[in-house]
Amino acid sequence: MTMRKLATIMISLAFLGTLSSCAGKKVKSGSADGAEFVSDTATIPSIDVTDSTGDEISTEGDIRGTQFVSQSGLKTITFEFDRYGLSEKARDVLKANAEILKSRKEWLAVVEGHCDNRGTVEYNLALGQKRAKEVRDYYVMLGVPESVLGTISYGEEQPACPEETEACWSMNRRAETKVRSR
């Protein structure tokens, strides 16, 4: 990439960041040496990164296109309330799922993050994405190529159980792995 292109991208990001900043919202951040500082947040738009031929470079699988479906061998995991960390039980399920995903080279997979209906829509979408990313990252650590894995959050929009009980809420706090052929 030439210096001119790099400068253009940097100026564009700075300009777009100032246009979409969230006034009055503060974020606590940390640096490599552990120092914390507070700054205004700015929503940085996603940009397409391309190689020298103009093809888009991505590390995450493309989830656009045909519908992803459940497969009987790929199990769903659940999460504790307001958490996205993986339990030992969840890790065991994901290890079995990863073996299936690694053996099926013709599959692309999407990890869907879901939440119960407590919390705001925005909060649940963010939590669902953290759950999906945690699962995807664990799959990658287990040897599933990152390029065949995508993530999406549905927040509270697709409950597995519609009742307002703890039993249902615990079923709704989940991550599902779905697949489609390439």
**pLDDT recorded at residue 68:** 93
Give mean pLDDT, residues 161-167.
Answer: 96
In this structure, what CATH number is given to the domain that contains residue 125? 3.30.1330.60
94 with 158, same domain: the answer is yes
Q: Is 41 helix (H, G, I), strand (E, B) or coil?
A: strand
107 with 176, same domain: the answer is yes
Phi, psi torsion values for 38, nearest 5 degrees? -115, 135
**Mean pLDDT (the chain, rounded):** 77
Structure tokens at 107: 């599959």
34 with 89, same domain: the answer is no
In a domain, 126, yes or no: yes
Structure tokens at 159: 């409950």
**pLDDT recorded at residue 34:** 40
146 with 95, same domain: the answer is yes
106 with 172, same domain: the answer is yes
Question: Which residues contact residue 38 at a Cβ distance below 8 angstroms, ignoring those fewer than 6 apart?
Answer: 26, 27, 28, 29
In a domain, 33, yes or no: yes
Least confident of 45-49, 106-110, 120-124, 169-173: 45-49
- Structural domain for 33, as ranges: 3-42
30 with 98, same domain: the answer is no
Structural domain tally of the chain?
2
- Return the percent helix, strand and coil in the chain, to nearest 5: 35, 25, 40
113 with 173, same domain: the answer is yes
Least confident of 1-5, 43-47, 83-87, 109-113: 43-47
**pLDDT recorded at residue 60:** 66
In a domain, 69, yes or no: no
**pLDDT recorded at residue 128:** 98
